[in-house]
Amino acid sequence: MCEVTVLKNGYAFLKDGFMHANCTCTVVRSPENTVIVDTMTPWDGPFIQSKLQEIGVPQIDYVISSHGHSDHTGNNNLFIENVKQHIVGFCISNNDQYYAHPFEHDEEYKLDEWMTIVPTPGHTSEDITLVVKTKTNGMTAIAGDLFECQDDLTNSELWIANSFNPEKQASNRLKILRMVDTIIPGHGGQFNVLPEHVETAQKIVDKYGPPK
Ligand SMILES: [Zn+2]
């Protein structure tokens, strides 16, 4: 089973005419691997390093960025010593070596018995979600901007406004809501999946009709 630690809850708000945003940064420890998901902006390196020290994480095995935006990839280069892979959206690499995986054909990528990467495009063309089996919270999805925050379940404008492909995102949101018990979104705190969340997501998918 995995232990999930949120290093920082993300946020996004408008102030003085500018969007201010940073991502939720999460560490997952399975019996075999330690993973960091979404490494904030390049200005957050010292914060991440001190947090990792505080929670006793000396080594990262996989660096995952749910997608390529700068607030989700900013400190990937802190983790290059003995790392197994960097996975940025659909792109898997180590140093100058690249590994093809058919995420575009909806194929999951298993890191170990407890952690699986599920392709969930929509916010961008190449988003991924890490789904993990946890000790205390059942199945947990670390979903990046597939979900902005808990409020976007009832206020669709919050995610549709930033969506590259709303039809695709709607169907992947529904897929993840059906798969897990709790979700860590890209720009807010963790929330539990309730039956009404699934119903609402289903209605949005029905409204869009079958994917093109
Ligand atoms: Zn984001």
Number of domains in the chain: 1
- Domain hosting 13: range is 3-208
Distance 74 CA to ligand 1 centre (A): 11
Distance 8 CA to ligand 1 centre (A): 13
Distance 169 CA to ligand 1 centre (A): 14
Distance 82 CA to ligand 1 centre (A): 27
Query: What confidence score (pLDDT) does residue 212 get?
Result: 62
Q: Helix and strand tally (H, E) in the chain?
A: 5, 15
Distance 145 CA to ligand 1 centre (A): 5
For residue 93, the SS3 value is strand
pLDDT in tens, 166-185: 999 999 999 999 999 999 99
Host H or E run for residue 68 = none
114 closest CA partner among 135, 95, 94: 135
Distance 39 CA to ligand 1 centre (A): 11
- The CATH number for 147's domain is 3.60.15.10
Query: What confidence score (pLDDT) does residue 211 get?
Result: 62
CA distance readout (Å), 150 to 2, 86, 102: 23, 28, 30
> Which amino acid is it at 51?
K
pLDDT in tens, 27-56: 999 999 999 999 999 999 999 999 999 999
CB 12: neighbour CB atoms within 10 A? Answer: 18
**How far out from the chain centre does Cα 74 lie?**
14
Distance 122 CA to ligand 1 centre (A): 13
- Residue listed under structure tokens 């169907």: 171
Distance 181 CA to ligand 1 centre (A): 22
pLDDT in tens, the chain (212 residues): 999 999 999 999 989 899 999 999 999 999 999 999 999 999 999 999 999 999 999 999 999 999 999 999 999 999 999 999 999 999 999 999 999 999 999 999 999 999 999 999 999 999 999 999 998 889 999 999 999 999 999 999 999 999 999 999 999 999 999 999 999 999 999 999 999 999 999 999 999 876 66
